[in-house]
Amino acid sequence: MTPPEIRTDPTPEIEDDPMSQATFLSPVPSELTTTTTLDDVLAEIVERRGEFRTQGYVSQDVITKLKQVGIYRASTPRRFGGDALPPAEFLRLVERISAADGSTGWVASFGSALVYLAALPLETQAELYADGPDVTFAGGLFPVQPAAETTAGFLVNGRWKFASGCMGADVLGVGIPGDASTEGKPRTVLLRPDQVEIVQDWNVVGMAGTGSFDLVVRDVEVPREWTFIRGGTPTVDEPLYRYPTLAYAAQVLAVVNLGIARAALDYAEEVGGGGTGVTGAPKLADRAYYRIEIAKAEARLRAARAFFFEAAEEAYATVLAGDPVSDAQNALLRLSSTHAVQAGSEVVREVFDLSGTNAIYNDHPLQPLVRDAMVPTQHAFLSPAMYDAAGAVLMGLPPTIPAFR
């Protein structure tokens, strides 16, 4: 099948661009043929995380290595050569990466985002994965911008925020309004990187390396078949795509804080047996309050993590049994995600509070963990409002917020 022509107006340059007549994506890099393990990549991330924070995004060669270890085929349909991993399995991978670096874990978490693209027509997906299943997708979906309808699709203009991972993306998405056919839900249009301007304006306290830049699009016409409804009915009939899409989107972000909290506790437990403080006071491990509070934090993190993965595994078992995930199970997915992100942030802060004056220095190992752990708690999918919505559903009432399922 010939890929759709996606044009830009006015466009002498684009019309002459061979990409406009080629496959939608570039070929998979030859580096993917080399042998790399996840442990290798994690070690490199630890060495280079300062680089990512300074430049504001995860470097392309590391994205390539994450592709090689399967992060960006984790939600590609099996029919197109992907792994379509069970959610809990992918979440554990993101947790490990986040323990090495929160920003890289956040960017890796969008390896799950191809579940959205399962709502595209099958013919479009076949073109999307024509060069292989390792596809990186990033989206700046809000604020939703108006797009004029054309004979073929939509003429797209505007600026969108928070496109995490856009610097390493093979395909980008931006949000436009829905209509009667989408039941009012926003539509996402897909674009090639050469059709988008990335404005590098990510200047933040935490998650500084996620590259959550703005996307600007000017007069690009996108065929209707290259658009989808986020959380829309999938055209792929495989178990992963029957799992609640919006709940999964919340989980992949929440698990980042579980990884960051794990790193903070590992640090606290390792240094607790070190030397005395600057005042000559006993080492931390010899202080009862330190031992007690670290033990409490360990219990808090492990309890939140157990609830989180239990909810994921139970919901996916229901899917595998051929049944729909119930409203109560979906509520537990959303509840466990919000609880996990809050617990992770609290554990990091507790470790910081216990660590003494040295922890206030900018170059202290806990500083980036504290800053990073603040950010996921601010995401709309993980806000305190989820407690109210989940509680309502568990008591047989409608959820109190939109887009809960």
Question: What are the tens digits of pLDDT across the range 17-53?
Answer: 333 333 344 334 444 445 789 999 999 999 999 999 9
The yes-or-no verdict on residue 231 having pLDDT over 80 is no
The yes-or-no verdict on residue 277 having pLDDT over 70 is no
Residues 335-357, mean pLDDT to the nearest whole number: 97
Residues 164-192, mean pLDDT to the nearest whole number: 93
Residues 355-371, mean pLDDT to the nearest whole number: 95
What pLDDT does 355 receive?
92
**Cis preceding-peptide flag for 398 (omega within 30 of 0):** no
Q: Which of 403, 380, 382, 404 is nearest to 393 (CA)?
A: 404
Residues 365-379, mean pLDDT to the nearest whole number: 97
Mapped onto helix, strand or coil, the DSSP state of residue 180 is helix
List of long-range contacts for 91-94, beta carbons under 8 Å, 24+ apart: 91/251, 91/252, 91/255, 91/308, 91/309, 91/312, 92/309, 93/38, 94/252, 94/255, 94/256, 94/259
For the chain, the domains span 20-117, 137-229, 243-394
Which architecture characterizes domain 20-117 according to CATH? Answer: Orthogonal Bundle (1.10)
Helices (H) and strands (E) in the chain, counts: 12, 8
Residues 335-339, mean pLDDT to the nearest whole number: 98
The yes-or-no verdict on residue 276 having pLDDT over 80 is no
Measure the CA–CA gap between 345 and 140, rounded to whole angstroms.
25
Residues 366-372, mean pLDDT to the nearest whole number: 98
The yes-or-no verdict on residue 357 having pLDDT over 70 is yes
Please give the structure tokens belonging to residue 363. 């170059």
**Which range among 20-29, 149-158, 224-233 shows the weakest confidence by mean pLDDT?**
20-29
What pLDDT does 230 receive?
81
Average pLDDT, the chain: 90
Q: Which of 372, 170, 348, 378 is nearest to 267 (CA)?
A: 348
Residues 141-146, mean pLDDT to the nearest whole number: 95
pLDDT tens-place string over residues 244-275 = 999 999 999 999 999 999 999 999 999 987 65
Domain 243-394 has CATH 3.30.465.10: no
The yes-or-no verdict on residue 55 having pLDDT over 70 is yes
Residues 301-317, mean pLDDT to the nearest whole number: 98
The yes-or-no verdict on residue 122 having pLDDT over 90 is yes
CB of 357 within 8 A of CB of 401? no
**Which range among 136-145, 176-185, 248-257, 366-375 shows the weakest confidence by mean pLDDT?**
176-185
Which architecture characterizes domain 137-229 according to CATH? Answer: Beta Barrel (2.40)
Strand pairing partners for 173?
139, 190
